[in-house]
Amino acid sequence: MRETKLYTKLELCEALQTGGQETAQLLIPLLGAIGQNQHTQPAVEAFKKTSYPLPRDIVARILARMDPVVLPALITAVVDGSRTQAVEAIDAVGFLCFYSAATVTDRLAALNALTEKLRGNPDDELMQWKIVRALESFNHPDATLVLEQIVARNANPVIVREAQRSLVVVAEQPALRASFDTEMR
């Protein structure tokens, strides 16, 4: 939190990324608390990247690059954390689900947590926007349906544009099994 030298910060981040669940538990309270480059509102400029956006919050970036065993702790931060923690944890969850070898069970739990958080925060445009971005990590009927509904019904053109982009990216992802029952067979 106090280090000012760039290369020292980078080395600290790389060292923390090798940590496990215990390290993640120590980092989660720091989500959104270090630095000033977190999003405070949906970005108006069009996002043209065809892969998952890199999390901006330094702690979210560290958590996103950790082993996927930290995904359940991040899901808990999305569900039960403060708004600041949840908003930044959403980025890390999306990144981990897009790039890591997280289990189908954890991915489905993440998808469920994100869609429930979206339903529970209909007036929080930043949270909506972040969740729409994270949903691009899930080629699953539930994610597609939510994104299509946002395109059809949301009044914010920035969120609609992001949902349209996410739908394109979703189609390029490997299909996620439809349910926990499918995984158990």
Could you tell me if residue 46 is inside a domain? no
pLDDT in tens, 140-156: 999 999 999 999 999 99
pLDDT of residue 101: 85
What's the structural domain count of the chain? Answer: 1
pLDDT in tens, 5-55: 777 878 887 888 888 889 899 999 988 777 666 666 667 676 666 666 767
Taking CA atoms, 72 is separated from 69, 107, 161, 163, in Å, by 7, 9, 29, 25
Could you tell me if residue 150 is inside a domain? yes
Could you tell me if residue 120 is inside a domain? yes
- Assess whether pLDDT exceeds 50 at residue 170: yes
pLDDT in tens, 53-66: 767 778 899 999 99
Which spans in 40-172 are helix H? Answer: 58-64, 71-80, 83-99, 104-120, 125-134, 141-153, 157-172
Could you tell me if residue 44 is inside a domain? no
Could you tell me if residue 114 is inside a domain? yes
Could you tell me if residue 99 is inside a domain? yes
Closest residue by Cα to residue 91 from 39, 48, 14? 39
pLDDT of residue 51: 67
pLDDT of residue 149: 95
The band of 168, judged by pLDDT with boundaries at 50, 70 and 90, is: very high
What are the residues whose beta carbons fall under 8 Å from the beta carbon of 62, sequence distance 6 or more?
A: 13, 16, 17, 27
We report the CATH number of the domain holding residue 114 as: 1.25.40
pLDDT of residue 182: 40
pLDDT of residue 66: 92
The mean of the pLDDT values for the chain is 86
pLDDT in tens, 95-133: 999 998 888 999 999 999 999 999 999 899 999 999 999
Neighbours of 106 (CB within 10 A): 20
Could you tell me if residue 4 is inside a domain? no
pLDDT of residue 117: 96
Could you tell me if residue 3 is inside a domain? no
The amino acid at residue 105 is T
pLDDT in tens, 72-101: 999 999 999 999 999 999 999 999 999 988
Boundaries of domain holding 125: 13-38+52-184
